[in-house]
Every structure is written in structure tokens, then in C-alpha cells.
Structure 1
Amino acid sequence: MSVEVTLVAKPGCHLCDEARPVVERVVAGFAGVTLVERSILDDPALAERWSEDIPVVLIDGRPHSSWRVDPGKLADRLRERLGA
């Protein structure tokens, strides 16, 4: 099974800059998990949906967290998704 984690962010967002290394570190600990980063500046639909909540972490397209990322909760959720 593979899982996709998406970080919805934008350049110059200090919370995004704090969340990015946390998400990268957690994702790096799991085989079968890929990380994609998308900017709300590049996608009007993302901007409309998430502009007030960035950074947003999606797991397989579903919201996991916004503003702050708890590494333990993210890791737990990825373990659940992977059936580990």
C-alpha cells in the first residue's frame, strides 16, 4: 500500500516553514509514503479551500491537520493507513 501526504502551503508563510521539516522528518520514517508540496499561489481551488488554514497536511487527500503539525499524531495516522 502507498500513502500520499500533501503539504498545502505558500512561500513566506512562517507556520509553513515550521511545518515542512516536521512533515519531511515523519514521512522519511515510512516506506511507501510520498510527500507532495502544493502552493496555494499555484492553484486557485486550493487557495479558495485552504487559504485561512495553511499549512494543511492531507493524507490521501483527506485533511489531517492545519496550522501546527504534531509529529506523533501524524506518525500514528500514517501507521494506521499503512496497516502497520
Structure 2
Amino acid sequence: MNGTDVRVLLVERAGCHLCADAHAVLDAVTAATGVGWASVDVDSSPDLLDAYGELVPVVLVDGHERGHWRLDRAVVEAALR
């Protein structure tokens, strides 16, 4: 987790190369905005696996899905405004 105000959640999976790319996007966005982010492993919960298993990485901002697979920095930034 980065920062103290966690509004961004990344649903990811171990060994996922797109998830590593998503980390870079979220690090850049949250460094610029001061908003924190956290991550959760999709395989840690049957509910997460059902909802997002084929879509990881998935980014949620304030509980709303804002992108999956290849994250768009501009979309995440807009969702944080």
C-alpha cells in the first residue's frame, strides 16, 4: 500500500506481467495525486475470482471498476478527480 488515503484497489494475480505494468501506472498516478492504493490477490477469494478472474489486473476507484488488463493512466486520474 502507498500513502494513507486508499481509494484505489488493484485486483491482481501473482506472476501476472500486466499486473506489474499496473503497479507502475498506479505508482505514477498516486505519486502525482497523493492518493494511496492497495492490492488484493484475485485468487484469495472465490467472490473475487468469480468477478475478476479473467480480467486481472482490474483497478477499482472508490469501489467502481475503472479498467482492466492494460490500465489507462488518464482514466484512473479522471476517476480520482
Normalised TM-score (structure 2): 0.85
Computing the radius of gyration from Cα coordinates, the structure with the larger value is: 1
Alignment partner of 1:24: what SS?
helix
Which residues in structure 2 correspond to 1:1-84 (within 5 Å)?
A: 4-31=7-34, 33-79=35-81
Q: CA deviation at 1:17?
A: 1.1
Q: CA deviation at 1:47?
A: 0.9
Aligned residues: 77
Superposition RMSD in Å: 1.4
- Code of the aligned partner of 2:18: L
Question: Matches of 1:17 and 1:43 in 2, distance apart?
Answer: 20
Structure 1 segments, 4+ long, off by >4 Å, are none
Q: CA deviation at 1:63?
A: 0.4
* Alpha-carbon displacement from aligned partner over 1:9-67 (angstroms, at most 9, x marks no partner): 01101111111111121012113x22010001212211111001110000111100011
Normalised TM-score (structure 1): 0.82
Is the 1:3–1:59 Cα contact (8 Å) retained in structure 2? no
Gaps of 5+ in 2: none
Give identity over the alignment, percent.
36
- Code of the aligned partner of 1:7: L
